Amino acid sequence: MNAPTRIRPASLVDVDVMVALHAMSFEDAWPRHVLAPSLGMPGSFAFLGMIGSVPAGFVLARVHAGEGEVMTLCVDPAQRRQGLARALLDETLAQASSRKAEAMFLEVAEDNVAALALYFARGFAEVGRRKDYYQRKDRRADALVLRKSLSAV
């Protein structure tokens, strides 16, 4: 049986945990000097996903001028496939909607199959592409720009 999942607001006191989770999740992880200021941007908000008492993932987003943006979402690879990313995304969509965002945007690597499946299942659609946006060890990957209307959230 899996430990219960809980989502709670995150803040600057959580930044070191968030940096560590990001490093576990991405080759091009954000360092503290990038993540910390992003938390303090006007309109930004974040949620930390807990599995039991263990921080296992987070999402960082913002709302500005009627548009929301998921800046990053990650889950510890050892804790994936338990619904935490979906719970973090759903909480983010609800928060953006409550902040009067009409649409939510995000960028995701074209080779991030699990993330694409989550986003498409939650109603996001591709609206653009940034060629060779992500640097991989041996190649580059395009970023897909996705959008979801929040009118029904």
User: Which regions of 1-151 does DSSP assign to beta strands (E)?
Assistant: 5-10, 44-51, 54-64, 67-75, 103-109, 125-135, 140-149
pLDDT > 60? residue 23: yes
As a whole number of angstroms, the distance between CA 106 and CA 67 comes to 11
What's residue 29's pLDDT? 81
pLDDT > 70? residue 152: no
Quote the tokens at residue 30: 């954000």
Q: Are 21 and 48 in contact (CB under 8 A)?
A: no
pTM, two decimal places = 0.91
pLDDT band at 135 (very low <50, low <70, confident <90, very high): confident
Write down the residue that tokens 């496939």 correspond to: 81
List of domains in the chain? 5-149 (3.40.630.30)
pLDDT tens track for 57-103: 999 999 999 999 999 999 999 888 888 999 999 999 999 999 999 99
